[in-house]
Structure 1
Amino acid sequence: MPRYLIPIGGNEKKSENSDIFKEMIALAGGAKARIVVVPTASEDPKERARDYQKLFLSFEPESVDVVHIGERPDASSAALAKIVSKATLFMFGGGDQLRLSSLIGGTPLHKALLERYQSGRCVVAGTSAGAAVIPEGMIFQNNRFRQFRKGGIEMTKGLGLIHDIIFDTHFVERSRISRLVQAVSTNPAMLGLGIGEDTGLLIEDETKARVIGTGTVIVVDGSAIEINHVGYVKNGNPFALTNVIYSVLTPGVVYDLKKRMVIDPGPIAPPPSLIPA
Structure 2
Amino acid sequence: MTGMDKVIASAAEAVADIPDGATLAVGGFGMCGVPAVLIDALFAAGTTDLEVVSNNAGVDGWGLGVLLGAGRLRRVVASYVGENKEFARQYLSGELEVELTPQGTLAERLRAGGSGIPAFFTATGVGTQVAEGGLPWKYDAEGNVAKASPAKQRQTFDGKEYVLEHAIVADFALVRAWRGDRHGNLVFKDSARNFNPPAAMAGRVTIAEVEQLVEPGEIDANAVHLPGAFVHRVLPLTPEQAADKPIEKRTVRTAEESA
TM-score, normalisation: structure 1: 0.30
Whose RCO is larger (CA < 8 A, sep 6+)?
A: 2
